[in-house]
Structure 1
Amino acid sequence: MAISSVRPAMLAGQYYPDDERVLRMQVAKLLAAAVPLEQVAAPKAIIVPHAGYLDSGAIAANAYRTLAGMRERIRRVVLLGPAHQAALHGFAVPAAQAFATPLGEVPLSRSDWLALQARDDVHIDDRLHAIAHSLEVQLPFLQAMFDSFTLVPVLAGDTSGEAAAELLDVLWGGPETLLVISSDLSHYLPYLQAQWIDRSTVEQILELRPDIKHDQACGAALINGLLLAARRHLLQPHLLDLRNSGDTAGDRDRVVGYASIAFCESEPSPHVRH
C-alpha cells in the first residue's frame, strides 16, 4: 500500500457540487444562514445528518456553525458513520491515507490509523470506504470550519453501543479533538409519522438513553456509543435542529429524518466554590 494513497471524492456532483468555487459558496451560504435552536460553546461532539446538501445541508450547517470559535483549536477530527451498502462486522478504516474533496485533501492521523488496525474489531477496507457516503459529505463542512486537521475516519457495521463507546473512549483525545457522528434518523415514513418518531428519538438522545434502535437511526450503534461515552465524560446534549426531507426537499410521502445535536462539557454549578 502506498502511503500517499488518496480516497477520491466519489460523491462530488451527486450529494454536493463538484466545482470547488460552487461548493465553497454553497457551504458558506448554508453556514451563514444557520440559526441553531440553542447557542452552545465549544462542543466536544456533534451528531449530524449525511444526505445530499439540498436535503440535509441546512440541518448539518446548524451543527457546524457552533464550531466557529474552534478554528484554531481543532487539529484532529474523529469521524464515524454507518456502512450502508455492504456487510461489516465491527468497524472499518481505509487503507488510503487521505480523503479528497473539491476543496482539497484531508490527511489521516497516521498514529491513530496504525493503532486502530491493530484492534480485533477494526478492519482495513478501501472498498467499503469507496462506496460510503456517510463520511465524505461531512468533509467540505469540516474543511470550511478548520484551517488544518487530521482525520480518523471509521465506518461502523454490525456492532453494539458498548463497542462504539469503547472505541470513542480510545479516540477521545483532548480539546484538540472533535468527535463527529454521522447519522440520519427515520427512513421513508409519511411526514407526520416521521415527525413523531424522530421527536421521540431526539428525546431519548437528550436524556442520554442509549437504547436507540436501527429503525430510528441508521447510525444507531454509534449514537448509543456516544450517549454511553457522554455519560462517562459528563457531556450535555443540546438540540440544534430537527427536520426531515419533507421540510427541505418537498416530497412528504416518504421522508428521511435529520437532526443536529451538540454535546458539550457540563458547566460547573454557580453554587460550587473552588
Structure 2
Amino acid sequence: MTQRKTVVAGSFYPNSKEEILAFIDNFNKSFKLEKPIDIKPKAVIVPHAGYVYSGFTANLAYNLSSSFSLDKNFKRAIVIGPSHRTYINGASIALYDEFETPIGNIKIDKEYSLKLKEKYNFLHFEEELHFEHSTETQAPFVKNYFDGLEIIEIVYGKLDFNELSLLIDYLLEDEDNFIIISTDLSHFYSQDEAKKLDNICLKAIIEKNLEMFEQGCEACGKIGVKAIIKSAIKKDLKTQLLHYCTSFDVTKDDKSVVGYTSALIGV
C-alpha cells in the first residue's frame, strides 16, 4: 500500500497525536465569533503556515464546518494548494492509497482522483509535488474533524485560475465533496503594509470581486482563491470571512510579517 508520507510533521505542526490534539483543544477554547454563521459550508479558504502562527485561523473554519454536521453527508475532502518547492505547468493529483498523518492515516479516494486526472488535462501525477506543506498542513484537521472521509490532494503550479475553476465547478456539483482551498496572504511586509495588501484580498473574497484580486492581493494561493470565488459567483454561493491575523501576533515583529485568513463558502 502506497502512502503520501508526511514531510513537515515536526516542523509546521507536531509529529505526535497528543500534541496535535492539544493544539486543537487549545484553539477551540479560545475563540468567539463576532457574528453568527449563516452559511452551510461547501468549501473553505484556510492558511497553511505553522500551527503556532495560523493554526487557530485554519481550525476555526474546520470546526465551524463540522459543527453543521455536514460531514455526515460528505464523502471526500479535496485539498487544493500551491506548490512552494517544485515548478509545474498545471497541477499534480496524488495517486497514493493513503495520506499519512500523526493522528491516523486517511484513505485517498484513488478511483475518484484517477477520474479527475482523466477528465482534466492539466492534472498529472508528479511525486515531488507532494512534498508540499500547503496541502499537508490541512490533513490533520481533516482527520480530526471529518474522520472517515477520504481525501484528494491537488498541488498546482503555473495554472490559469479559470481552468481550476472549471474543476471546482465540477466538484461542487457533487454533494459528497468538501473543498479546501489553501493559501497564506502577503509575505514579509511591515505589519501596516501587510494589512493594507491583505485587506484587498479580504474585500475581494467578501464581495466576490475577481478584479479586485489584481489590485494588490499577494496571496501565495491566489490562483486557488480566485478559482473558488469564480465558482462561487457562477453558482451563487455566499462567502463569509471568519478570521484574519498576521505572524506579528506570535512573533511581535512588526517589520516582516505574513498574513493569514479563513473563510467559508456555501449556501
* TM bracket (short chain): over 0.9
* 2:261 alignment counterpart: 259
Question: What is the RMSD computed on CA atoms of the aligned residues?
Answer: 1.6
For normalisation by structure 2, the TM-score amounts to 0.92
What does 1:152-171 correspond to in 2, within 5 Å? 152-171=152-171
* C-alpha contact (below 8 Å) 2:47/2:54 kept by paired residues: yes
For normalisation by structure 1, the TM-score amounts to 0.90
Instruction: Report the Cα distance in structure 2 between the residues aligned to 1:148 and 1:33, rounded to whole angstroms.
Output: 27
Cα distance 1:187–1:51, how it changes in 2: closer, same or farther (>3 A)? Answer: same
* 2:107 alignment counterpart: 107
Q: Aligned pair 1:59/2:57, yes or no?
A: yes
SS of the residue corresponding to residue 81 of structure 1 reads strand
Instruction: Report the Cα distance in structure 2 between the residues aligned to 1:20 and 1:38, rounded to whole angstroms.
Output: 32
* 2:245 alignment counterpart: 243
Structure 1: which 5+ runs fail to align? Answer: 266-274
Instruction: Report the Cα distance in structure 2 between the residues aligned to 1:127 and 1:200, rounded to whole angstroms.
Output: 33
* 1:268 alignment counterpart: none
Q: Aligned pair 1:12/2:9, yes or no?
A: yes
Q: Aligned pair 1:196/2:175, yes or no?
A: no
- How far the C-alpha of 1:84 sits from its partner, in A, is 1.0
Q: Aligned pair 1:140/2:140, yes or no?
A: yes
Instruction: Report the Cα distance in structure 2 between the residues aligned to 1:229 and 1:248, rounded to whole angstroms.
Output: 34
Structure 2: which 5+ runs fail to align? Answer: none
Instruction: Report the Cα distance in structure 2 between the residues aligned to 1:37 and 1:183, rounded to whole angstroms.
Output: 23
Moved more, 16-25 or 43-52: 16-25
Instruction: Report the Cα distance in structure 2 between the residues aligned to 1:238 and 1:150, rounded to whole angstroms.
Output: 26
Instruction: Report the Cα distance in structure 2 between the residues aligned to 1:95 and 1:186, rounded to whole angstroms.
Output: 31
* C-alpha contact (below 8 Å) 1:38/1:240 kept by paired residues: no
- How far the C-alpha of 1:74 sits from its partner, in A, is 2.4
* 2:47 alignment counterpart: 49
Letter in 2 for 1:73: N
- How far the C-alpha of 1:249 sits from its partner, in A, is 3.0
Cα distance 1:174–1:95, how it changes in 2: closer, same or farther (>3 A)? Answer: closer
* 2:18 alignment counterpart: 21
Q: Aligned pair 1:177/2:174, yes or no?
A: no
Q: List per-residue Cα deviations over 1:122-160 (Å, max 9, x = no partner).
A: 110111102x10011011111111121011110111011
- How far the C-alpha of 1:173 sits from its partner, in A, is 4.1
* 2:31 alignment counterpart: 34
* 2:124 alignment counterpart: 123
What does 1:58-97 correspond to in 2, within 5 Å? 58-67=56-65, 68-70=67-69, 71-97=71-97
* C-alpha contact (below 8 Å) 1:164/1:225 kept by paired residues: yes
- How far the C-alpha of 1:181 sits from its partner, in A, is 0.2
Q: How many residues align?
A: 261
Q: List per-residue Cα deviations over 1:245-272 (Å, max 9, x = no partner).
A: 112332221101101111121xxxxxxx
Letter in 2 for 1:121: F
Instruction: Report the Cα distance in structure 2 between the residues aligned to 1:198 and 1:77, rounded to whole angstroms.
Output: 27
- How far the C-alpha of 1:176 sits from its partner, in A, is 2.8
Identity of aligned residues (%): 27
Q: List per-residue Cα deviations over 1:139-191 (Å, max 9, x = no partner).
A: 11111111210111101110112011011122224333211100001111000
* 1:231 alignment counterpart: 233
